[in-house]
Amino acid sequence: MRVSNVFLVDGGPGDRFLVDTGHAAERPLLLWELRRLGLGPRDLTGVLLTHRHSDHAGNAAFLQRHGVRVYAHRADAEVLEGRRPRTRLVRGAGSRFAGVLAEVENLFPARLVPDVALEEGDAVAGLEVHWMPGHTEGSVFFRHDATASLFSGDTLLAAKPPLTLETGLALPYPTFTLSMTQAYASLRAFHAQGHAYENLLAGHGPPILGRARERVMALPELRQR
Protein backbone atom coordinates (compact mmCIF):
# COMPACT_ATOMS: atom_id res chain seq x y z
CA MET A 1 0.00 0.00 0.00
CA ARG A 2 1.12 3.60 -0.53
CA VAL A 3 0.07 5.27 2.72
CA SER A 4 0.42 2.53 5.34
CA ASN A 5 1.21 -1.16 5.39
CA VAL A 6 -1.32 -3.97 5.39
CA PHE A 7 -0.14 -7.48 6.22
CA LEU A 8 -1.84 -10.81 5.50
CA VAL A 9 -1.43 -13.54 8.11
CA ASP A 10 -2.46 -16.57 6.09
CA GLY A 11 -3.22 -19.82 7.85
CA GLY A 12 -5.31 -21.10 4.96
CA PRO A 13 -9.09 -21.05 4.42
CA GLY A 14 -10.90 -19.98 7.57
CA ASP A 15 -7.71 -18.60 9.10
CA ARG A 16 -6.79 -15.53 7.05
CA PHE A 17 -6.35 -12.24 8.89
CA LEU A 18 -5.31 -8.78 7.80
CA VAL A 19 -3.23 -6.70 10.18
CA ASP A 20 -4.65 -3.22 9.48
CA THR A 21 -6.63 -2.24 6.38
CA GLY A 22 -5.12 0.95 4.93
CA HIS A 23 -6.88 4.23 4.21
CA ALA A 24 -10.30 4.29 2.55
CA ALA A 25 -8.78 6.22 -0.36
CA GLU A 26 -6.62 3.17 -1.09
CA ARG A 27 -9.47 0.66 -1.14
CA PRO A 28 -9.01 -0.13 -4.86
CA LEU A 29 -5.35 -0.91 -4.23
CA LEU A 30 -6.21 -3.11 -1.24
CA LEU A 31 -8.73 -5.08 -3.30
CA TRP A 32 -6.25 -5.35 -6.18
CA GLU A 33 -3.55 -6.71 -3.88
CA LEU A 34 -6.00 -9.27 -2.48
CA ARG A 35 -7.04 -10.32 -6.00
CA ARG A 36 -3.36 -10.72 -6.89
CA LEU A 37 -3.25 -13.35 -4.13
CA GLY A 38 -6.42 -14.98 -5.40
CA LEU A 39 -8.51 -13.61 -2.52
CA GLY A 40 -11.51 -11.39 -2.02
CA PRO A 41 -12.96 -9.79 1.12
CA ARG A 42 -15.13 -12.83 1.84
CA ASP A 43 -12.04 -15.04 1.94
CA LEU A 44 -10.79 -13.15 4.99
CA THR A 45 -11.50 -14.35 8.51
CA GLY A 46 -10.76 -11.17 10.40
CA VAL A 47 -9.05 -7.81 10.62
CA LEU A 48 -6.64 -7.03 13.46
CA LEU A 49 -6.23 -3.30 14.04
CA THR A 50 -2.98 -2.05 15.54
CA HIS A 51 -4.80 1.22 16.27
CA ARG A 52 -7.79 3.33 15.27
CA HIS A 53 -6.30 5.95 12.91
CA SER A 54 -7.94 6.17 9.51
CA ASP A 55 -4.84 5.19 7.54
CA HIS A 56 -4.96 1.85 9.37
CA ALA A 57 -8.66 1.32 10.08
CA GLY A 58 -10.05 3.10 7.01
CA ASN A 59 -11.31 -0.04 5.28
CA ALA A 60 -12.35 -1.97 8.37
CA ALA A 61 -16.05 -1.07 8.15
CA PHE A 62 -16.10 -1.92 4.44
CA LEU A 63 -14.60 -5.37 5.09
CA GLN A 64 -16.94 -5.84 8.03
CA ARG A 65 -19.90 -5.42 5.67
CA HIS A 66 -18.51 -8.41 3.76
CA GLY A 67 -18.64 -10.58 6.86
CA VAL A 68 -15.08 -10.00 8.10
CA ARG A 69 -14.79 -9.73 11.89
CA VAL A 70 -12.88 -6.71 13.17
CA TYR A 71 -10.68 -6.91 16.27
CA ALA A 72 -9.42 -3.81 18.13
CA HIS A 73 -8.21 -3.11 21.63
CA ARG A 74 -11.06 -2.15 23.94
CA ALA A 75 -9.81 1.44 24.42
CA ASP A 76 -9.65 2.15 20.69
CA ALA A 77 -12.90 0.24 20.08
CA GLU A 78 -14.67 2.66 22.43
CA VAL A 79 -13.40 5.62 20.38
CA LEU A 80 -14.27 3.98 17.04
CA GLU A 81 -17.79 3.34 18.35
CA GLY A 82 -18.22 6.89 19.64
CA ARG A 83 -18.57 5.80 23.27
CA ARG A 84 -15.34 7.57 24.24
CA PRO A 85 -14.32 11.12 23.21
CA ARG A 86 -11.97 11.36 20.26
CA THR A 87 -8.99 13.52 21.19
CA ARG A 88 -8.09 15.98 18.44
CA LEU A 89 -4.64 15.75 16.94
CA VAL A 90 -2.58 18.95 16.92
CA ARG A 91 0.54 19.81 14.96
CA GLY A 92 2.65 20.51 18.04
CA ALA A 93 6.33 20.01 17.28
CA GLY A 94 5.61 18.41 13.93
CA SER A 95 5.96 19.82 10.43
CA ARG A 96 3.33 21.90 8.64
CA PHE A 97 2.48 18.94 6.43
CA ALA A 98 1.99 16.80 9.53
CA GLY A 99 -0.42 19.43 10.78
CA VAL A 100 -2.43 19.12 7.57
CA LEU A 101 -2.55 15.34 7.91
CA ALA A 102 -3.63 15.69 11.53
CA GLU A 103 -6.54 17.91 10.50
CA VAL A 104 -7.57 15.37 7.85
CA GLU A 105 -7.67 12.72 10.57
CA ASN A 106 -9.70 15.03 12.80
CA LEU A 107 -12.26 15.67 10.07
CA PHE A 108 -12.49 12.17 8.61
CA PRO A 109 -11.77 9.57 11.32
CA ALA A 110 -12.55 5.89 10.96
CA ARG A 111 -15.88 4.92 12.52
CA LEU A 112 -17.20 1.42 13.17
CA VAL A 113 -18.23 -1.00 15.91
CA PRO A 114 -15.54 -3.68 16.20
CA ASP A 115 -16.77 -7.23 16.64
CA VAL A 116 -14.16 -8.17 19.26
CA ALA A 117 -12.59 -5.93 21.91
CA LEU A 118 -9.08 -7.12 22.66
CA GLU A 119 -7.25 -6.95 25.96
CA GLU A 120 -3.63 -7.31 27.04
CA GLY A 121 -2.64 -10.98 26.99
CA ASP A 122 -5.22 -12.10 24.44
CA ALA A 123 -4.21 -14.30 21.51
CA VAL A 124 -5.72 -14.27 18.04
CA ALA A 125 -4.56 -15.73 14.72
CA GLY A 126 -1.51 -17.13 16.50
CA LEU A 127 -0.49 -13.66 17.64
CA GLU A 128 -0.01 -12.33 21.16
CA VAL A 129 -1.74 -9.04 21.98
CA HIS A 130 0.32 -6.44 23.85
CA TRP A 131 -1.38 -3.18 24.86
CA MET A 132 0.86 -0.22 24.01
CA PRO A 133 -1.06 2.97 24.91
CA GLY A 134 0.41 6.29 23.89
CA HIS A 135 0.15 6.64 20.12
CA THR A 136 -3.58 6.09 20.62
CA GLU A 137 -5.55 4.97 23.66
CA GLY A 138 -5.63 1.37 22.44
CA SER A 139 -2.54 0.91 20.28
CA VAL A 140 -1.27 -2.67 20.35
CA PHE A 141 1.60 -4.85 19.26
CA PHE A 142 0.86 -8.24 17.73
CA ARG A 143 3.77 -10.63 18.35
CA HIS A 144 4.24 -13.91 16.48
CA ASP A 145 6.50 -16.04 18.62
CA ALA A 146 7.17 -18.80 16.08
CA THR A 147 8.76 -16.44 13.56
CA ALA A 148 10.03 -13.88 16.11
CA SER A 149 8.06 -11.18 14.31
CA LEU A 150 6.40 -8.06 15.71
CA PHE A 151 3.58 -6.10 14.09
CA SER A 152 4.06 -2.66 15.61
CA GLY A 153 1.58 -0.31 13.93
CA ASP A 154 2.80 3.25 14.47
CA THR A 155 4.30 2.68 17.92
CA LEU A 156 7.51 1.65 16.15
CA LEU A 157 8.10 2.71 12.55
CA ALA A 158 10.43 1.65 9.75
CA ALA A 159 10.32 5.01 7.96
CA LYS A 160 10.71 8.62 9.02
CA PRO A 161 7.38 10.48 9.44
CA PRO A 162 5.44 12.36 8.29
CA LEU A 163 6.04 11.56 4.60
CA THR A 164 7.80 8.24 5.36
CA LEU A 165 9.84 8.50 2.15
CA GLU A 166 13.07 8.00 4.08
CA THR A 167 13.36 4.50 5.51
CA GLY A 168 14.85 3.73 8.88
CA LEU A 169 13.83 2.82 12.40
CA ALA A 170 11.75 5.57 14.03
CA LEU A 171 9.64 6.22 17.11
CA PRO A 172 6.06 7.56 17.07
CA TYR A 173 5.64 10.97 15.48
CA PRO A 174 4.46 13.61 17.99
CA THR A 175 1.75 15.19 15.81
CA PHE A 176 -0.12 11.90 15.53
CA THR A 177 0.57 10.65 19.05
CA LEU A 178 -1.66 11.38 22.04
CA SER A 179 1.17 11.12 24.59
CA MET A 180 4.82 10.67 23.68
CA THR A 181 5.59 10.14 27.38
CA GLN A 182 3.11 7.27 27.57
CA ALA A 183 4.25 5.81 24.24
CA TYR A 184 7.86 5.73 25.45
CA ALA A 185 6.79 4.23 28.78
CA SER A 186 4.85 1.49 26.96
CA LEU A 187 7.87 0.68 24.83
CA ARG A 188 10.21 0.55 27.82
CA ALA A 189 7.80 -1.70 29.74
CA PHE A 190 7.32 -4.07 26.80
CA HIS A 191 11.05 -4.53 26.30
CA ALA A 192 11.74 -4.77 30.03
CA GLN A 193 9.45 -7.82 30.08
CA GLY A 194 11.88 -9.57 27.75
CA HIS A 195 9.58 -10.19 24.77
CA ALA A 196 11.74 -11.51 21.95
CA TYR A 197 11.52 -10.57 18.28
CA GLU A 198 13.92 -10.33 15.39
CA ASN A 199 11.69 -8.97 12.63
CA LEU A 200 9.74 -5.71 12.76
CA LEU A 201 6.65 -5.29 10.57
CA ALA A 202 5.71 -1.66 11.11
CA GLY A 203 2.75 0.38 9.98
CA HIS A 204 4.99 2.48 7.72
CA GLY A 205 8.22 1.52 6.00
CA PRO A 206 9.66 -1.78 4.76
CA PRO A 207 10.01 -4.82 7.04
CA ILE A 208 13.13 -4.86 9.17
CA LEU A 209 14.28 -8.46 9.02
CA GLY A 210 16.81 -9.51 11.62
CA ARG A 211 18.18 -7.79 14.75
CA ALA A 212 15.17 -5.48 15.00
CA ARG A 213 14.92 -5.69 18.79
CA GLU A 214 18.62 -4.97 19.16
CA ARG A 215 18.24 -1.86 17.01
CA VAL A 216 15.21 -0.67 18.96
CA MET A 217 16.98 -1.10 22.28
CA ALA A 218 19.83 1.11 21.00
CA LEU A 219 17.49 4.09 20.64
CA PRO A 220 18.45 6.66 23.31
CA GLU A 221 14.81 7.51 24.07
CA LEU A 222 14.17 3.95 25.25
CA ARG A 223 17.04 3.56 27.63
CA GLN A 224 15.74 2.66 31.08
CA ARG A 225 15.49 5.59 33.47
How confident is the model over 166-187, as pLDDT tens digits?
A: 999 999 999 999 999 999 999 9
Classify each residue of 15-41 as buried b or exposed e, where b means 16 or more C-beta atoms within 10 Å of its C-beta: ebbbbbbbbbebeeebbeebeeeebeb
Is it the case that residue 97 has pLDDT exceeding 70? yes
pLDDT in tens, 116-132: 999 999 999 999 999 99
Q: With pLDDT > 90 as the criterion, what percentage of the chain qualifies? A: 96
User: Does the bond joining 162 to the residue before it have cis omega, within 30 degrees of 0?
Assistant: yes
Domain with residues 7-222, CATH architecture: 4-Layer Sandwich (3.60)
pLDDT of residue 223: 76
- Residue by residue, DSSP assigns 106-161 as HHS------SEEE-TT-EETTEEEEE-TTSSTT-EEEEETTTTEEEEETTSEEE-T
At 224 the pLDDT is 59
Cα 163–Cα 110–Cα 151 angle in degrees, nearest 5 = 60
